[in-house]
């Protein structure tokens, strides 16, 4: 049967986390229950169901090699952190109005978590790509990366480089057209870049992205048309023009009859691309800026899982690998393996080896479980003794503290009484002072009223005097007018007499009769 990972089943994929001291495997059984197992120096130990169940799960390691799980159940986001065999759980977000799926989880070099997922609102036919970030202060509110109309399945893949930049490659389906976009999150500016279109087509799916040690970005996706399906590759090479920048997209697989899910990422020093068809694994290796087809492998019963290794440089994010019976398989061909003569016996020897290893690990796990139980019982006994002694010391300290608090309370009561007495005295002094001020103010008010009555009388007298003077002025003006008229009459008479005298004088001077 040809393997084709359903787009809506990403939340049910298994996770294999490789830490510096322990390995962890989280998987979903046939009943939909999330289980986990742990591998230490003694081998694998089955722990059964996780303490929290949900419809979606994603996992990643931090820089110390501790696993972190995000579980989504009924609109609630749970964050689980593992410390040896125990999980601590906390709720950090509630989204009950949307359907969330296609979870992606990564960790940068500063130990900041990045959670991306698709949120669908079937009622309003809207979709959102959202981003949560967890710093030392806790989980932040979600950032909207992109959104649009229509209940579309728009999902992507992430990668984190050594500079803590988060890279995202995602698809957007609109009507019959599907587009592929690239964005990156700047941790300094704390913002997402604008969307850069990389490809368009009628059927684009399974976007994958990774970053190599030289900060070059590599992207891969599956594209289909009437002729069939092919895997396309496009890279962004660091540097300036003409060698740097985004290179044109190139098809690196032959035409396939059906859609396949690619495994893509850095494995060791090589960039590997592969896909599973029946029991055949087809490989391509990227060398010297070109893809080379490698020898295929035949693996029975392999399943895809997400793998995260603490030994990876830069940021940590899960890559797809193949696993068989919960054991990861190398995602690269081994040219030293000769599959010709032993091809029919290899599966049996491999299965026998797996069964033997499982039996040995089971016996070892039982022995270790017994030792841990005995050790835990002894620790509980010591803990109970220590708690009893600690309680006695705490009781004595509490009694001594109560005595000290009683003494402090008495002192506070005495200070309170003294303060009340002082306040009463000050209030009495203030009342007397205000009474004196009130009396003085009333006396001043009476004096001002008397002065005002005196001023009113003086004002009336002045007004009467002014009236008499005005009357006198009018009388004087009448007298002045009469005197002016009399003066004019006298002046006219004088002028007449002066003229007659002048005439007489002329007659005398000229001897005229």
Domain boundaries, the chain: 7-337
Question: Considering only 157-166, 282-291, 335-344, which range has the smallest mean pLDDT?
Answer: 335-344
**pLDDT computed for residue 353 by the predictor:** 43
Nearest CA among 199, 221, 224 for reference residue 209? 221
Q: Given this model, what pLDDT does residue 348 score? A: 43
The CA distance from 70 to 134, in Å, is: 12
33: Cβ contacts below 8 Å, ≥ 6 apart: 49, 53
Q: What is the pLDDT of residue 199?
A: 93
75's enclosing H/E stretch is: none
- pLDDT at residue number 207: 93
Q: How confident is the model at residue 160 (pLDDT cuts 50, 70, 90)?
A: very high
pLDDT digits (tens, 9 = 90+) for 116-149: 999 998 777 899 999 999 999 999 999 999 999 8
pLDDT score recorded for residue 369: 67
The sign one gets for the Cα dihedral 473, 475, 480, 481 is positive
pLDDT of residue 76: 94
| CB count in 10 Å sphere of residue 273 | 24
- Pull the structure tokens for residue 139: 């989980």
pLDDT value at residue 10: 66
Neighbours of 270 (CB within 10 A): 12
What digits encode the pLDDT tens for the residues 38-83? 988 888 888 889 999 998 999 999 988 899 999 999 999 999 998 7
- Mean per-residue pLDDT of the chain: 84
Return d(Cα 95, Cα 107) in angstroms, integer. Answer: 23
Position 245 pLDDT exceeds 60: yes
Rg of the Cα trace of the chain? 51
Label residues 463-472 b or e (16+ Cβ within 10 Å = b). Answer: eeeeeeeeee
CB count in 10 Å sphere of residue 474:
9
Residue 282 CB-half CA count within 13 A: 17
**Across 236-245, 364-373, 410-419, least confident range:** 364-373
Asked whether the predicted pLDDT for residue 342 surpasses 60, the reply is no
Query: Which CATH number is 7-337's, of 2.130.10.10, 2.30.40.10, 2.60.40.1080, 3.40.50.1820?
Result: 2.130.10.10
With a cut of 80, say whether residue 349 has pLDDT above it: no
* Distance (Å, whole) CA 351 – CA 341: 18
Confidence of residue 303 (pLDDT cuts 50, 70, 90): confident
Which residues have C-beta within 8 Å of that of residue 285, sequence separation ≥ 6? 270, 271, 272, 273, 291, 292, 294, 332
């Amino acid at each position: 049967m040809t393997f084709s990972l359903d787009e809506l089943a990403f939340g049910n994929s298994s996770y294999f986390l490789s830490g510096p001291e322990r390995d962890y495997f989280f998987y979903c059984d046939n009943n939909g229950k999330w289980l986990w197992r742990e591998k230490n120096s003694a081998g694998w130990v089955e722990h059964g169901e996780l303490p929290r169940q949900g419809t979606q799960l994603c996992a990643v390691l931090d820089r110390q090699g501790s696993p972190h799980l995000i579980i989504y159940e009924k609109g609630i986001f749970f964050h689980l952190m593992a410390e040896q065999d125990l999980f601590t759980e906390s709720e950090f977000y509630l989204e009950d109005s949307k359907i969330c799926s296609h979870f992606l989880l990564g960790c940068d070099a500063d130990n900041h978590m990045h959670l991306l997922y698709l949120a669908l609102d079937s009622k309003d036919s809207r979709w959102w790509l959202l981003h949560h970030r967890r710093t030392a202060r806790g989980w932040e509110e979600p950032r909207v990366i992109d959104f649009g109309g229509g209940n579309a399945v728009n999902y992507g893949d992430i990668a984190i480089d050594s500079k803590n930049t988060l890279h995202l490659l995602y698809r957007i389906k609109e009507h019959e057209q599907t587009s592929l976009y690239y964005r990156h999150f700047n941790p300094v500016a704390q913002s997402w870049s604008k969307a850069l279109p990389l490809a368009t087509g009628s059927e684009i799916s399974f976007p994958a992205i990774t970053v190599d040690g030289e900060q070059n970005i590599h992207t891969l996706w599956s594209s289909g048309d009437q002729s069939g399906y092919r895997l396309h590759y496009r890279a962004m090479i660091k540097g300036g023009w003409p060698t740097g920048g985004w290179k044109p997209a190139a098809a690196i697989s032959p035409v396939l009859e059906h859609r396949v899910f690619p495994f893509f990422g850095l494995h060791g020093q090589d960039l590997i691309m592969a896909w599973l068809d029946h029991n055949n694994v087809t490989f391509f290796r990227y060398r010297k800026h070109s893809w080379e087809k490698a020898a295929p492998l035949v693996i029975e019963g392999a399943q895809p899982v997400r793998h995260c290794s603490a030994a990876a440089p830069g940021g940590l994010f899960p890559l797809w690998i193949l696993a068989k019976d919960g054991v990861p398989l190398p995602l690269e061909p081994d040219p030293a393996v000769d599959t010709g003569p032993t091809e029919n016996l290899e599966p049996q020897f491999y299965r026998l080896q797996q069964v033997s290893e499982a039996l040995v690990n089971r016996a070892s796990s039982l022995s270790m479980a017994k030792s841990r139980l005995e050790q835990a019982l002894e620790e509980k006994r010591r803990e109970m003794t220590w708690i009893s002694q600690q309680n006695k010391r705490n009781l004595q300290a509490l009694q001594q503290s109560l005595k000290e608090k009683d003494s402090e309370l008495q002192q506070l009561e005495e200070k309170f009484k003294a303060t009340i007495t002082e306040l009463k005295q000050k209030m009495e002094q203030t009342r007397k002072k205000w009474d004196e001020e009130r009396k003085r103010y009333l006396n001043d008010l009476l004096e001002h009223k008397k002065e005002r009555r005196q001023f009113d009388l003086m004002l009336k007298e002045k007004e009467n005097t002014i009236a008499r003077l005005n009357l006198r002025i009018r009388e004087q003006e009448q007298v002045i007018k009469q005197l002016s008229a009399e003066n004019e009459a006298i002046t006219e008479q004088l002028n007449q007499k002066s003229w007659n005298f002048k005439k007489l004088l002329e007659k005398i001077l000229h001897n005229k009769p």
